[in-house]
Every structure is written in structure tokens, then in C-alpha cells.
């Protein structure tokens, strides 16, 4: 799977990076979340508002409700590193045009210059964090051109960050850097990178259990003395990293609790919008939100998520290898998406990256198809923000391009059942998306098409989760060679 690291960037890597930049620029010309949609606007306004708050208020006041910070209007609900990122961008904006971040006067600010800055900031962050992390990871693999292409041209990530408007490439870039360090046993640097990822977006918890089990296994691999040395080193690294990042909020217990309440707003309920997970799908048949109260649903979802994640995490701890680690990252991130509390449709991006890590363990065409499904599962979001045509077009182009690439490699030919599955699956998605785009829903069932999309997507994701369980059981039964360093 791995070979000696080649840090050189070849013509293929440069071509893919250039293509990804071009596609990002094209997608940036589309509509974005909340365009001309007062009073809340959308995610674009949320990011702009956080920049406004971060340059006008002390960091310690960002998560607190007050006369100058109405938390009901896009209150910050991401960890401190997002605030510092917003502060840096906000300061740049302030020097260009102070009106863009004027406190309480810049609500819903929209201009060509401001839009150009916001769109460019997403691409710049992708370029300086996600791109080098992807190059480093793919350089360690025998099929580096294929993996590099999947990482950089991933349709869900490019569409959500550049069209819808978010900065997912920052946290995912730090996560990939973390994995880069772990696979060469630089566990301290890996821990720092994961702390950065987790403190940028708390959804990185999706990846936390496999990383914890991998590091714990690393500590336990030799003597008791080795365990205490490594465990102390890693725990100190995590504590120091968190302390530095949370420093403005450590003034009191109440200040810390205020941040935590914003990061995990359980009062919002089990789910806010239609999403392709178990609870949203089940709620269409049995109104679970009416049967159980919030506290019970919180406990239930936590237990189901932990139970679903446990097999692959145990595999990593008992039989630590890179193959098992990547499998666990994929299985656990999908478990969190399918079963955890208050999932957003965009959280499927946290499954996309570990899915790509499985490039040497899965049929290439199936992997490509599931990356396409991750994008297709968010089509109702694309439609809501009025870039459905761009979303479908790019997802189809991505699928066709990479399937063609796979067909040219004799060793990766897809079996007949894989082809049949892909054809049936694409037919179903295109039919549902066509209904969303062109057919007005029945008055009595206004959400029927979105429900169909989420249910169809859930079926695919659940099947994939079951397939990871089968792989885990097989590896427990037959074993797999331990890999403790790059070989």
C-alpha cells in the first residue's frame, strides 16, 4: 500500500491541482447560501458576521449574548480556531473596506467586491492547507495520481465550500495532515494537527475514536515504561494545545460552559433539516421526536453511535495497521453521520476523506460512485441555494471522468454486479433529482421529493456501513499484518 515517500510534485499532480482551482473559480460564480434571502440570509452571511464580531468584540465575548452580540442571529457555534480564522480574515477586510465588518451595520452586506473577497478566501484557505496536505498523503501511496485526483476534485467538498460557501477544507486539511504524521509515527505532530482540526470544527469528533484507539495502541505496543512515556507525551500535547486555543475562554467555569453550549446546542433537537441518516429516515414512519423527549433521544443516539463505532475501533486497537486504521475512520465517520444526534447534510464530507483513504481496499468504481453519492445526497441543499444545475453537472462530470480513468486500468476492472449497482443507483438519483428540479411537489406532501432523496441516500450509506462491518469481522477472524511505520 505504501512506498518510500516521494515529495516531488509531478505534472499529473500540478494538472489536477490546476483543474481543481479552475473548477473552484467557476463554482464561485454561482449563487450561494442565503443570497438575497433576508432576514437570516445563509451560511455566507454567517461567516461574514463572525468576521464582523471577531474584529469588534473581545474573543471572550464572542460566545456570549449581549447588546452587541445577538446569538439568535448567526451566533458563533464553532470552536475557537474558527474565531481566530474569522479574526484574521476580518482584519484584512477591515483594511480593504471597513463597511464590510462594521458592527451591527453590515448585516446582509452584499457587493461585488465583498463577494470576490469572500470567494477568494475559501480558495486561498484550500490552497494553503488542504492542497499541501493532500499532496503529502497521496505521495505516500503507489496509486498517488488516483488518490490525489479524488482528494482535490471531490465534488461534495468543492460544491459546498465554493458554491454553498463554507471553509470545510480547513478542518479536513488539518485532519489529513494528522493522518500524514500518524502513518510515519510522528504522533505528537499528528496530535497537534488533530487538535487544530477539532478546534476548527467540532464535527471532527467523527474521526476522534479511531485516532484515539490508534494512539492508545501505539502507546501499548511495548513495555509499561514505553506506555507511560508515550501516554504522558501525547496527553500533555493535547492539553497544552487545547489550553492555548481556549485561553481567552478559561477565565471562568461559566465562560467555558458558554462555549460548550454553543458548540453542542442540544436544544435544537435530533435533526434540524432533512438528512440521510437513520433518525430522519425513521421519523418519516414513526414520529420518534414525539415519542421520546430530548434527553432520551440524546442518550439513545449516543449509545447507538458508540455501539456502531465500537467494532472497527476495537480492530484498530487490537490489530493496529494502516489498513485497519483507514477502515475504522471510514466506518466510524459514517456511523456518526448515520446515528448521532443533530446531523447536518454537509457532515457527509467527514466520511468522504476516509472513504478515499480506502482506495487500495475497495473497488475503484465503487469508491468513485460513493463519492458521487455523497454529493448527490446534498442535492436538496443545492436546489435550495439555486445551484442544482452546477451541482449535478459537476458531480456527473466527476463520475464520468474517474470511471473512464478506471476503465483504462486493467487491474481495476469492475465486476458485472458493480456495474449493475452503479447503473441502478444513478438511475434512481437522477429520477429523484429531476423531480426536485422540474416537478412541483403535491400540496399535501411538500417535502416528498427531499424525503425520497434522503431515504435513497440513507439506503446506500447503510449498505456501505454494513460492508465495513463485514470487513471488520473478516479481519478479526483472519487477521492482517501489523504495520507500525511506512514500509
Which residue is associated with the grid cell 505528537? 188
Nine cell digits for residue 265? 446546542
Average pLDDT (273-279) is 91
Q: Is the pLDDT of residue 4 over 80?
A: no
In contact, 101 and 94? CB cutoff 8 Å: yes
In contact, 133 and 173? CB cutoff 8 Å: yes
423-464 pLDDT per residue, tens: 999 999 999 999 999 999 999 999 999 999 999 999 999 999
DSSP 3-state helix, strand, coil percentages of the chain (rounded to 5)? Answer: 70, 0, 25
**pLDDT score for 485:** 38
Phi, psi of 214 (to 5 degrees): -65, -45
Nine cell digits for residue 62? 464572542
Which residue is associated with the grid cell 433539516? 273
For residue 67, what pLDDT band results from cuts at 50, 70 and 90? confident
183: which residues sit within 8 A by CB, 6+ positions away?
2, 140, 322, 486
Helix (H) or strand (E) holding 338, with range, is helix 322-339
Query: Is the omega angle on the peptide bond into residue 342 within 30 degrees of 0, that is, cis?
Result: no
Q: Which of 67-76, 269-278, 389-398 has the least mean pLDDT?
A: 269-278
For residue 413, what pLDDT band results from cuts at 50, 70 and 90? low
**pLDDT score for 487:** 29
Name the DSSP letter for residue 276: S
313: which residues sit within 8 A by CB, 6+ positions away?
209, 210, 212, 213, 328, 332
d(CA 260, CA 205): 14
Q: Where are the alpha helices (DSSP H) in 284-321?
A: 288-291, 294-318
For residue 290, what pLDDT band results from cuts at 50, 70 and 90? confident
Residue 162: name the closest of 15, 50, 74, 31 by CA. 31
In contact, 209 and 309? CB cutoff 8 Å: yes
**pLDDT score for 292:** 85
**pLDDT score for 10:** 78
> What global pTM score does this model have?
0.95
**pLDDT score for 414:** 62
Residue 61: name the closest of 80, 46, 39 by CA. 80
308: which residues sit within 8 A by CB, 6+ positions away?
335, 338, 339, 465
Q: Where are the alpha helices (DSSP H) in 6-154?
A: 11-27, 43-56, 80-96, 112-125, 131-138, 144-153
111-140 pLDDT per residue, tens: 999 999 999 999 999 999 999 999 999 998
Selected residue with higher pLDDT from 396 and 3: 396
Nine cell digits for residue 254? 461559566
**pLDDT score for 265:** 87
Residue environment code for 32-50, b if the CB has 16+ CB neighbours within 10 A, otherwise e? bbbbebeeebbbbbbbbbb
Average pLDDT (154-160) is 98
Classify 416 as helix, strand or coil. Answer: helix
Average pLDDT, the chain: 92
Q: What angle do CA 350, 299, 76 make, to 5 degrees?
A: 50
Average pLDDT (298-326) is 96
**pLDDT score for 36:** 85
Handedness of CA 432, 437, 438, 440 (dihedral sign): positive
Average pLDDT (478-484) is 54
For residue 150, what pLDDT band results from cuts at 50, 70 and 90? very high
Which three-class secondary structure string do you get for 232-301? HHHHHHHHHHHHHHCHHHCCCHHHHHHHHHHHCCHHHCCCCCCCCCHHHHHHCCCCHHHHCCHHHHHHHH
The 8 Å CB, 24+ separation contacts for 354-359 are 354/207, 354/326, 354/329, 354/330, 355/330, 356/147, 356/150, 356/151, 356/154, 357/179, 357/326, 357/329, 357/330, 358/326, 358/327, 358/330, 359/141, 359/143, 359/146, 359/147, 359/150
Phi, psi of 220 (to 5 degrees): -90, 0
For residue 482, what pLDDT band results from cuts at 50, 70 and 90? very low
Q: Is the pLDDT of residue 3 over 70?
A: no
Handedness of CA 417, 353, 161, 455 (dihedral sign): positive
Handedness of CA 345, 378, 458, 126 (dihedral sign): negative
For residue 37, what pLDDT band results from cuts at 50, 70 and 90? confident
Share of the chain above pLDDT 70, in %: 95
**pLDDT score for 406:** 86
Q: Which residues pair with 189 in a beta bridge?
A: none
Q: Is the pLDDT of residue 272 over 80?
A: no
Q: Which of 32-46, 72-86, 204-218 has the least mean pLDDT?
A: 32-46
In contact, 109 and 224? CB cutoff 8 Å: no
**pLDDT score for 342:** 87
292-301 pLDDT per residue, tens: 888 899 999 9
Amino acid at each position: 500500500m505504501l512506498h518510500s515517500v516521494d515529495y516531488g510534485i509531478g505534472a499529473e499532480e500540478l494538472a489536477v491541482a490546476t483543474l481543481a482551482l479552475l473548477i473552484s473559480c467557476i463554482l464561485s460564480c454561482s449563487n450561494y447560501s442565503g443570497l438575497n434571502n433576508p432576514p437570516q440570509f445563509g451560511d455566507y452571511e454567517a461567516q461574514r458576521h463572525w468576521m464582523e464580531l471577531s474584529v469588534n468584540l473581545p474573543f471572550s465575548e464572542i460566545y456570549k449574548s449581549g447588546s452587541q452580540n445577538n446569538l439568535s442571529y448567526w451566533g458563533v457555534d464553532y470552536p475557537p480556531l474558527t474565531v481566530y480564522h474569522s479574526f484574521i480574515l476580518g482584519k484584512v477586510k477591515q483594511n480593504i473596506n471597513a463597511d464590510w465588518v462594521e458592527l451591527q451595520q453590515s448585516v446582509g452586506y452584499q457587493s461585488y467586491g465583498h463577494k470576490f473577497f469572500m470567494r477568494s478566501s475559501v480558495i486561498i484557505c484550500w490552497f494553503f492547507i488542504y492542497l499541501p496536505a493532500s499532496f503529502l498523503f497521496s505521495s505516500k501511496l503507489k496509486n498517488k495520481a488516483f488518490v490525489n485526483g479524488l482528494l482535490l476534485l471531490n465534488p461534495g467538498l468543492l460544491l459546498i465550500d465554493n458554491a454553498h460557501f463554507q471553509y470545510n477544507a480547513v478542518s479536513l486539511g488539518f485532519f489529513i495532515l494528522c493522518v500524514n504524521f500518524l502513518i510515519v509515527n510522528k504522533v505528537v505532530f499528528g496530535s497537534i494537527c488533530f487538535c487544530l482540526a477539532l478546534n476548527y470544527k467540532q464535527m471532527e469528533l467523527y474521526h476522534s475514536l479511531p485516532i484515539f484507539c490508534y494512539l492508545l495502541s501505539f502507546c501499548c505496543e511495548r513495555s509499561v515504561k514505553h506506555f507511560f512515556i508515550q501516554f504522558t507525551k501525547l496527553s500533555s500535547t493535547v492539553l497544552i494545545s487545547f489550553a492555548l486555543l481556549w485561553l481567552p475562554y478559561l477565565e471562568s467555569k461559566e465562560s467555558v460552559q458558554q462555549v460548550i453550549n454553543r458548540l453542542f446546542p442540544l436544544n435544537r433537537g435530533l435533526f434540524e433539516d432533512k438528512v440521510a441518516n437513520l433518525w430522519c429516515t425513521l421519523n418519516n414512519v414513526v414520529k420518534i421526536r414525539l415519542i421520546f423527549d430530548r434527553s432520551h433521544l440524546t442518550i439513545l443516539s449516543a449509545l447507538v453511535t458508540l455501539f456502531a463505532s465500537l467494532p472497527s475501533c476495537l480492530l484498530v486497537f487490537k490489530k493496529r495497521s494502516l489498513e485497519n486504521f483507514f477502515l475504522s475512520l471510514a466506518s466510524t465517520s459514517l456511523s456518526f453521520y448515520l446515528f448521532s444526534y443533530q446531523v447536518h447534510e454537509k457532515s457527509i464530507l467527514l466520511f468522504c476523506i476516509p472513504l478515499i483513504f480506502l482506495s487500495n481496499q475497495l473497488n475503484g468504481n465503487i469508491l468513485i460512485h460513493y463519492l458521487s453519492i455523497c454529493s448527490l445526497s446534498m442535492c436538496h441543499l443545492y436546489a435550495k441555494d439555486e445551484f442544482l444545475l452546477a451541482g449535478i453537472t459537476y458531480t456527473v462530470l466527476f463520475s464520468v471522468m474517474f470511471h473512464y480513468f478506471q476503465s483504462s486500468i486493467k487491474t481495476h476492472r469492475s465486476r458485472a454486479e458493480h456495474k449493475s449497482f452503479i447503473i441502478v443507483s444513478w438511475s434512481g438519483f437522477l429520477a429523484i433529482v429531476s423531480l426536485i428540479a422540474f416537478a412541483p411537489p403535491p400540496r399535501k406532501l411538500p417535502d416528498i421529493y427531499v424525503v425520497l432523496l434522503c431515504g435513497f441516500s440513507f439506503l446506500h450509506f447503510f449498505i456501505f456501513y454494513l460492508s465495513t462491518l463485514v470487513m471488520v469481522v473478516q479481519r478479526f477472524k483472519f487477521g492482517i499484518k501489523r504495520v507500525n511505520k511506512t514500509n
